Chains A and B, each alone.
Chain A
């Protein structure tokens, strides 16, 4: 491992809320000096970070790498490369692979394969039920031993409340966290868009907001009954946010996130049935989108994830309702978070906290720039504007609704465990 100096950078530490100019010294995968070199330090590599922000590497709470089973959509090497190009150094991957991550052996295999492409760190989320079928709970304790950081159903809600109740009791036994996307399946049915004026106009089957709020209400009640810790994944509505706000005030061990798409887009952006705007949960009204931006700023929403869902072109070249939901996102997490911060008047340390220190805390480490911290870093130019061009994205999935859009903020160097894993051309 090379000893590295990062000179002249603007250091933003979201954990401590600091914003300073200093040199940073890396060795043995850790930060070994801030402002001054530790004794015996011999720089083998120098990076000039003048004009760049030096921050802890980004932690993405939901990014699908598509392995195993969906290699035609994306692969570990392609998505790892996309991650570090986007400044993401830790990836939490949901269990909705094929087969789903419901057996310890699968998780071990995935982690080994990730090691072979050692770029970003991988944190698998285990399946909560066998095959994600919502019937039998998985061997959660053994999945944890294999490296799972939490348990989830991916995008398949558990229809049977008895199963969810027991899953939460069992997880609470070991203190495990569940990551649940709040959705009452019977109210979704064949819905594909927010149940509002715009879907009515387009004749798209609606998904009402109550599909989210009723699910949150159930989860909150079950949390009270079981004491289980829950992270609510990808809120979409103002009413849903309000329920989370109330539950947090009560002191329940509840956190939540939102994805980059729902911060910036709304149902009207679907335009003429553009399938790149098909998402689960659906893009909701402009009012909901504004409530998301505000709830991020006031702390009700803890974190921002990319909800990275790379796919092949054919998955989107279909009528809106038949197209696969989701968008590629690893390379857009940083600029779209910065865009939200700029629009909402949120300072950089607080904005970066949403995509580094807060999610890192959930994974049990500190994303900071102090001596002893992990040398997982992103060096980015906050003023670099670039146009989102699908063909130039590193991700194998070129599917993005932001195609052609000008964004600001671009990773120049990414370090993982003290090693330079990405350098912009």
Chain B
């Protein structure tokens, strides 16, 4: 797969669909740009004119409050005109296809599509069919990818830990259904993290996950030993049906992050969570609210990272147009 739909001929990012296959320089470029926005924000300068006169459409084919809101805030801070649409399955029931919807919004003058969709790969379909000059940013597709979440996770890790090449990272919980886990794994390995672990029961691990370059653990006590970063994943309620797990209680007992289990990690380990959290299911409140948790900084950094992504893809799309 030499061809990469996310890059133009010059190797610049024109869509953000997945961290997989992106060179380290692009991930670093995004993190560095986000750092500029964070620094400017700390200095009281929150608003930029980068996307003035540009239209950003948030297309959420699947519900989300947090991600949509942070994308909205990020676009507004770049002075874009933002429209958010919640397009539930009903629109396809009315006979309009995904590409019909996209073509209509193109006709309304869209410059950036931020897309969340329940089907893995849907943003690729859109990126393949949008007019030249329009950028697509994946805000989460099925189980496949959630690149901006991964980038904000990387930002958070870099902020608190610095060098990726000395870190041991554990990702815990429902890896099977998690686009966050997949994207975090790709981003971590690209950025040079030498040891990424996944910890889960076999029912929640995708087949052949080792091929992504991770070490698999089924036991929390072993898997958390001496790690620098713990990324907890949300356990969706619907996973409680379909025989993936017997009960939330048993899951919490064996895979929930408690202060006792956290004590197995390095003393300065940080605890992350993409939210929304299920307290008492995957994480104990004492950990979620404890001093090792960096869950709220993740949210703050998320805005800067999404600003950086939208700014970079828009600039590269514009550069390509000229």
- Min CB gap A377→B, angstroms: 43
Bound Cα distance from A322 to B125, whole angstroms: 12
Are B207 and A197 interface neighbours, CB within 8 A? yes
Q: Which among B20, B117, B182, B208 has the highest number of chain A CB atoms within 10 Å?
A: B208
Bound Cα distance from A322 to B1, whole angstroms: 23
Are A201 and B211 interface neighbours, CB within 8 A? yes
Are B125 and A318 interface neighbours, CB within 8 A? yes
Is the interface on chain A under 10, 10 to 19, 20 to 34, or 35 or more residues? Answer: 20 to 34
Bound Cα distance from A272 to B143, whole angstroms: 14
Say which residue of B1, B98, B207 sits within 8 Å of A319 (CB atoms).
Answer: B98
Say which residue of A195, A206, A319 sits within 8 Å of B121 (CB atoms).
Answer: A319
A317 CB–B CB distance under 8 Å: yes
A199 CB–B CB distance under 8 Å: yes
Can you pick out 23 interface pairs between chain A and chain B where the beta carbons lie within 8 Å of each other? A196-B207, A200-B206, A200-B207, A200-B208, A200-B211, A202-B121, A204-B142, A205-B143, A206-B207, A271-B1, A272-B121, A273-B125, A275-B125, A318-B125, A319-B117, A319-B122, A319-B125, A320-B119, A320-B121, A321-B119, A321-B120, A321-B121, A322-B119
Bound Cα distance from A314 to B129, whole angstroms: 13
**A40: chain B residues within 8 A (beta carbon):** none
Are B209 and A200 interface neighbours, CB within 8 A? yes
- Min CB gap A172→B, angstroms: 36
**B122: chain A residues within 8 A (beta carbon):** 319
- A201 in contact with B182 given A319-B119, A319-B120, A322-B119 (CB within 8 Å): yes
Say which residue of A196, A202, A206, A317 sits within 8 Å of B99 (CB atoms).
Answer: A317
**B217: chain A residues within 8 A (beta carbon):** none
Say which residue of B98, B209, B212 sits within 8 Å of A318 (CB atoms).
Answer: B98
Q: Which among A202, A206, A318 has the highest number of chain B CB atoms within 10 Å?
A: A202
Mark A175-215 against chain B: 1 for CB-CB distance below 8 A, else 0.
00000000000000000000111011111111010000000
Q: Which among B145, B182, B206 has the highest number of chain A CB atoms within 10 Å?
A: B206
B275 CB–A CB distance under 8 Å: no
Nearest A residue to B185 via CB reads A201
**Chain B, 108-148, CB within 8 A of any chain A CB:** 117, 119-122, 124-125, 129, 141-145
Nearest A residue to B17 via CB reads A272
B179 CB–A CB distance under 8 Å: yes
**A204: chain B residues within 8 A (beta carbon):** 120-121, 142-144
**B1: chain A residues within 8 A (beta carbon):** 271-272
- Min CB gap B136→A, angstroms: 13
**B124: chain A residues within 8 A (beta carbon):** 272-273
Are B117 and A203 interface neighbours, CB within 8 A? no
Say which residue of B5, B142, B211 sits within 8 Å of A203 (CB atoms).
Answer: B142
Bound Cα distance from A205 to B98, whole angstroms: 20
- A202 in contact with B120 given A271-B1, A318-B125 (CB within 8 Å): yes
- Min CB gap A255→B, angstroms: 31
Are A314 and B182 interface neighbours, CB within 8 A? no
Nearest A residue to B181 via CB reads A203
B97 CB–A CB distance under 8 Å: yes
**Chain A, 189-246, CB within 8 A of any chain B CB:** 195-197, 199-206, 208
**Chain A, 298-326, CB within 8 A of any chain B CB:** 314, 317-322
Say which residue of A195, A196, A272 sits within 8 Å of B5 (CB atoms).
Answer: A272
Bound Cα distance from A321 to B141, whole angstroms: 12
- Min CB gap B113→A, angstroms: 15
User: 6 closest pairs, A vs B, by CB?
Assistant: A273-B121, A203-B144, A203-B143, A197-B208, A319-B119, A200-B206
Are B97 and A203 interface neighbours, CB within 8 A? no
Q: Which among B97, B124, B145 has the highest number of chain A CB atoms within 10 Å?
A: B124
**B125: chain A residues within 8 A (beta carbon):** 273, 275, 317-319
Bound Cα distance from A203 to B212, whole angstroms: 12
Bound Cα distance from A372 to B206, whole angstroms: 58
Nearest A residue to B175 via CB reads A200
Bound Cα distance from A300 to B209, whole angstroms: 33
Contacts A273-B121, A317-B125 given; 5 further ones with Cβ under 8 A?
Answer: A205-B143, A318-B97, A319-B117, A321-B119, A322-B119
**A272: chain B residues within 8 A (beta carbon):** 1, 5, 121, 124
**B143: chain A residues within 8 A (beta carbon):** 203-205
Are B145 and A203 interface neighbours, CB within 8 A? yes
